Amino acid sequence: MSEDRPTMTVAAQCLLTGITLPLEREIKRQLTIDNPQYRAAKKYGRWIGKGVRPELKYYQPVPGGLRFPRGFANQAVLLCREMLGCDPRIVDQRRLAQEIEICFRGSLRNYQQEAVDKALNRSFGVIEAGTGSGKTVMALALVAARRQPSLVIVHTKELLYQWQARVQEFLGVEPALIGDGRFALAAVTIAIVNTARKRLQELVPHFGQLIVDECHRVPANLFTDVVSSFDCHYLLGLSATAFRSDNELTKLIYFYMGDRIHRVDKRKLVATGAILAPEIIRSNTCFTYRYRGDYQALIKALVTHEGRNQQIIDDIVMMAREPDCGTILVVSDRVSHCQLFADKLQARGLRVALLTGKVAPELRAAIVDEVQTGKVDVLAATLQLISEGFDCSGLSTLFLTTPISFEGRLLQVIGRIMRPAENKRARVFDYVDQNIPTLVRSARARALVLSDL
C-alpha cells in the first residue's frame, strides 16, 4: 500500500492528516449539525444573540488536516476507504494504565453476555439496552474483563450511589466517589459529571477506561468538555435509548463515544423474565381548548382542567382498590399537577408520596424504601425525576397524565413499571385528548412506541 496514505493519530481526539480536499469536505459535512437552539428561536420568533450559531461544527482544521472527536474514527476510516481506496495509517496514542486485579462476581444472562462479547471486540462505542436489562452489570463485567482503572460518569446523585452499590455487589471492591462533597480515586471511581468537569487534570492520567451512563441524558457539553479530554484506551457509552430530545444532538453520542456496538432486543428481555410486557389501557378525555400554536399555554390549560383531572383521579382510585395492585406511578411534567394529584388522592384515603425537584435528595431514598415495602399506594412524580436513576420494582401501574411525544423519555418512564416482582402485573394508562389535533398526533406517536413493547 502507498506510503502517502493518510495518517490518523488517535488519542483524546483524532488527528487525520494527508487527506484530499474532497475527503476533508465530506468529513466536515458529516461533523456539522443544525443547532436546535437556533432553529427553535427562528421557529418561535425569539431573539437570536450573536453567540447562537445556525450550525454546530465538531471539527477543528489544523495545518495539513482535521482534528475531530474520537468516536468518529471508524467513520473516518470508512470514508478514507471509500474515497481514497485505502485505510489511513493508525498511530495509537491512547492511554493504557497499569492493570488492576479485579474479578466479576455475578452471572450474565445470555443477552447480556452477547452484548459484553461484542463490546470486547471494540475499544469504544455505545451499548443500547432498555430499562431492566442490567446495563450496569454488563459494564462491570467489562471493567473486570479489561482490567483497566475505570471512571464512571453519571449525571445525578441517585445514580452515583446506585453504581456504588452495584460495584460493591458485583466486583467486591469499594469504589471511590466524586461528587456530593466527596473526591477520591480508586481502581473503580464513580463521578457526577459537574464535579468531574472541575477536576479533569487530576482525573485524566489515572484511567484506562471511561464509562458514561445514560449518555443520551447528559448535557451536550459533557461530550465537548469532558469526554474529549480523556485519552484512555476504552470508551463505553450506556443508554436505555440513544435518542435525545434535542434530536440533532443525538449525533454527538456517536461522534464522541463511537458507533453503537449492540442493541439489546426488548423481546429477549421479556422472554427471559428480565422485564414485564405492560398492558396498555387508553381513555379519551373531555378536554377542549382553542389551540393557536402556544403549546405551553395548551399544557397549562390541560393540567388545570377539572374534568380531565377528575377522570384520572377516579381511574387511579379504582385501580388502587384492586388486590395486589402494588404502587401506582402517576407522572406529569408539571410540579403543580403532581401536587394536585397528591392532595386529591390523599383526600380519597390513599397513601401518597410526592417526588418532585422540591423534594430534598436525601429524602428520595426514603421514598424508594417506602414504595418497596408497600407503604405507598400512589407515587406522584415529575417526568424529570422519575425517568432515570429510580430503581424500584414495586411500581406496577403507570398513569401518563400529560402528553409525552419524545420516544426516548416515554420508554424511560415506562421502564419504571416493567421491572419484575412477585404477582406483579404491569399496566399503562394513557389519556387521549381527542378534541385537540396536535395532542391526537402525540397520542398516535405514543401508540406506535407502546405497540413495540
| Secondary structure of 257-320 as H, E, C letters | HCCEEEECCHHHHHHCCCCCCCEEEEEECCCCCCCCCCHHHHHHHHHCCHHHHHHHHHHHHHHH
Q: Do domains 110-269 and 276-452 have the same CATH topology?
A: yes
Quote the CA–CA distance of 361 and 192 in Å, as a whole number: 14
Q: Do 334 and 401 contact (CB within 8 A), yes or no?
A: no
Domain ranges of the chain: 7-92, 110-269, 276-452
Quote the CA–CA distance of 252 and 224 in Å, as a whole number: 9
Per-residue pLDDT at 1: 44
Per-residue pLDDT at 44: 66
- The CATH label, of 3.40.50.300, 3.40.50.970, 3.40.50.620, 2.70.150.10, for the domain at 110-269 is 3.40.50.300
Quote the CA–CA distance of 315 and 354 in Å, as a whole number: 19
Per-residue pLDDT at 390: 64
Between the alpha carbon of residue 24 and those of residues 14, 28, 76, 363, 437, the distances in Å are 14, 6, 10, 53, 45
- From the number of C-beta atoms within 10 Å of its C-beta (0-12, 13-18, 19+), residue 357 rates as exposed
Tell how far CA 440 is from the center of its chain. 26
Per-residue pLDDT at 249: 72
Per-residue pLDDT at 449: 84
Between the alpha carbon of residue 350 and those of residues 285, 314, 321, 347, 388, the distances in Å are 24, 12, 10, 7, 26
Q: Write down the H helix ranges in 49-95.
A: 73-84
Quote the CA–CA distance of 280 and 444 in Å, as a whole number: 13
The pLDDT tens digits for 39-54 are 777 766 677 777 788 8
Per-residue pLDDT at 388: 55
- Under CATH, which number does the domain 276-452 receive? 3.40.50.300
Strands 65-69 and 60-62: what pairing? antiparallel
Residues of the chain with pLDDT under 70: 1-3, 43-45, 242-248, 387-391, 453
Query: What fold does the segment set 7-92 form as a domain?
Result: Translation Initiation Factor Eif1 (3.30.780)
Quote the CA–CA distance of 316 and 299 in Å, as a whole number: 21
Q: How many residues are present in the chain?
A: 453
Amino acid at 433: D
Handedness of CA 150, 178, 389, 327 (dihedral sign): positive
Quote the CA–CA distance of 54 and 38 in Å, as a whole number: 6
